[in-house]
């Protein structure tokens, strides 16, 4: 986010705070049917469209800088491995041996010189080529060139690694992110390093989990003992770029911005900035660290949640710095996200099938939840139309 835009957003937040409201969203009370979080057929359609046609975030590039470093998918429905080759090129592959389909690596991340199938010992180079077959005499005439790992499109953009599900289809992540790509560049995400990454299964629909982030209405209540003091008299400004949403949430000290000249204003000193990167990533710019939250659907009422925390190495030096990071991680991950945001989401999920509500009612400050749902619905409709046209052809 360039400096002029930071100043502009801070001025918007000051006006909104004075008016005691958030940016206008849908400017109406709307509803979302609870079947959006429970219907098995809708869930299947989401997997076939929303999670198949768009680039997905793998994580921060920091863990994949050196040759031989790799990360494995956190979602078994899309079993990939991304690795930095000896030539410096980042590549993605299906995490499956071309012999009989065994998983090549079960490690979430690490460093390797080659991938060796644990079933029969077939060996693959970091570029995916088949380097060796045990008892090769048993495979006379096998074209090894045709049995390399199946490559997937991968891109580095904005300090993040992205992957696509369709082999041979290049990713244009800059165009996909639109205006928000430059935000990641300007915030220096590429220079950050990883502190920790966790993976947990939550008993709630993936959309319900993301939607806990998309409004500040709940903060004085659900977070009354944790975040509310930091966002007192808060206001939210939002922007859209394609299917992506950016929220800027004024912190309690936002009016202190007047103590500095405009050319010294930095938005993260006075606000937290949040990005909903379609479809399943929620990216949070805290004042001195970053949270990457990714949600993978397992069923209508169960999801994988991963949380990767990033920081600037020079800001947290030595044992004291690491202790400060751990304190931040426990507060954010365990208390705010785990015990508050997602605990209430799991409670809501249980109640969806118990009969009191056929829909959720969203007020003026909750319009972004409906906008997020509309982005999904539009792409479901488009995918359904494309399938119908293909069937008629």
For residue 234, the model assigns a pLDDT of 84
Return the structure tokens found at 4. Answer: 């002029």
Residues of the chain above pLDDT 90, percent: 91
Distances (CA, A) of 320 to 149, 317, 324, 325, 330: 44, 7, 6, 9, 15
* Strand-strand pairing, 193-202 and 302-311: antiparallel
For residue 57, the model assigns a pLDDT of 97
The answer to whether residues 305 and 200 touch, using CB atoms and an 8 Å cutoff, is yes
The continuous run of DSSP H or E covering 28 comes out as none
Domain 58-170 has CATH 3.40.190.10: no
Residues 6+ apart with CB under 8 A from 259: none
Ranges in the chain annotated CATH 3.90.380.10:
3-52+175-385
Alpha-carbon span 306 to 60, nearest angstrom: 13
Band (pLDDT 50/70/90 cuts) for residue 392 is very low
For residue 354, the model assigns a pLDDT of 86
pLDDT tens for 74-129 read 999 999 999 999 999 999 999 999 999 999 999 999 999 999 999 999 999 999 99
Closest by CA position to 81, among listed 90, 89, 70: 70
pLDDT tens for 326-374 read 999 999 999 999 999 999 999 999 999 888 899 999 999 999 999 999 9
Residue 390 clears pLDDT 50, i.e. is over it: no
pLDDT tens for 261-275 read 999 999 999 999 999
Phi, psi of 263 (to 5 degrees): -70, -5
Instruction: Report, as an integer, the average pLDDT of 125-144.
Output: 95
In this predicted model, which residue has the larger pLDDT, 384 or 80?
A: 80
SS3 string, 338-378, reads HHHHHHHHHHHHHHCCCCCCCEEEECHHHHHHHHHHHHHHH
Ranges in the chain annotated CATH 2.102.10.10:
58-170
Most confident of 26-30, 283-287, 294-298: 294-298
Band (pLDDT 50/70/90 cuts) for residue 381 is low
Mean of the per-residue pLDDT values of the chain: 93
pLDDT tens for 187-221 read 999 999 999 999 999 999 999 999 999 999 999 99
CATH says 3-52+175-385 is which class? alpha beta
For residue 287, the model assigns a pLDDT of 84
Return the structure tokens found at 227. Answer: 């975040």
Band (pLDDT 50/70/90 cuts) for residue 382 is low
Closest by CA position to 249, among listed 298, 197, 291, 287: 287
Alpha-carbon span 206 to 227, nearest angstrom: 23
For residue 6, the model assigns a pLDDT of 95
Residue 383 clears pLDDT 80, i.e. is over it: no
Residue 391 clears pLDDT 60, i.e. is over it: no
Strand partners, 196: 309
For residue 215, the model assigns a pLDDT of 94
């Amino acid at each position: 986010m360039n400096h002029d835009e930071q100043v502009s957003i801070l001025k918007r937040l000051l006006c909104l705070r004075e008016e005691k409201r958030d940016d206008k969203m849908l400017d109406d009370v709307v509803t979302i049917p609870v079947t959006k979080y429970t219907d098995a057929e809708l869930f299947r359609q989401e997997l076939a469209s929303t999670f198949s046609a768009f680039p997905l975030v793998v994580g921060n590039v920091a863990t994949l800088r050196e040759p031989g470093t790799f990360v494995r998918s956190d979602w078994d429905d899309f079993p990939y491995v991304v690795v930095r080759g000896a030539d410096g090129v980042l590549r993605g592959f299906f995490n499956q041996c071309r012999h009989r389909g065994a998983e090549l690596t079960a490690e979430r991340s690490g460093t390797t010189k080659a991938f060796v199938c644990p079933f029969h010992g077939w060996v693959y180079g970091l570029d995916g080529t088949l380097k060796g077959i045990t008892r090769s005499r048993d495979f006379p005439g096998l074209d090894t060139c045709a049995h390399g790992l199946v490559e997937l499109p991968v891109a580095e953009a904005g300090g993040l690694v992205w992957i696509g599900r369709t082999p041979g289809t290049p990713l244009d992540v800059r165009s996909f992110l639109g205006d928000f790509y430059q935000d990641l560049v300007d915030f220096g995400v590429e220079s950050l390093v990883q502190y920790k990454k966790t993976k947990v299964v939550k008993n709630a629909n993936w959309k319900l989990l993301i939607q806990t982030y998309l409004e500040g209405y709940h903060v004085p209540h659900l977070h009354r003992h944790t975040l509310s003091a930091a966002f007192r008299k808060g206001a939210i400004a939002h922007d859209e770029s394609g299917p992506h949403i950016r929220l800027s949430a004024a912190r309690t000290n936002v009016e202190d911005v007047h103590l500095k000249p405009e050319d010294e204003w930095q938005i993260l000193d006075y606000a937290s900035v949040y990005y909903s990167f379609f479809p399943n990533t929620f990216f949070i710019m805290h004042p001195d660290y970053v949270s990457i939250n990714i949600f993978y659907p397992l069923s209508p009422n169960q999801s994988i949640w991963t949380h990767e925390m990033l920081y600037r190495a020079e800001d947290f030096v030595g044992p004291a710095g690491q202790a400060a990071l751990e304190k931040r991680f426990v507060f954010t991950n365990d208390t705010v996200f785990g015990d508050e945001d997602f605990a209430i989401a799991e409670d809501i999920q249980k109640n969806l099938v118990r009969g009191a509500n056929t829909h959720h009612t969203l007020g003026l400050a909750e319009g972004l939840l409906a906008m997020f749902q509309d982005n999904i619905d539009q792409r479901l409709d488009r995918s359904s139309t494309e399938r119908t046209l293909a069937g008629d052809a």
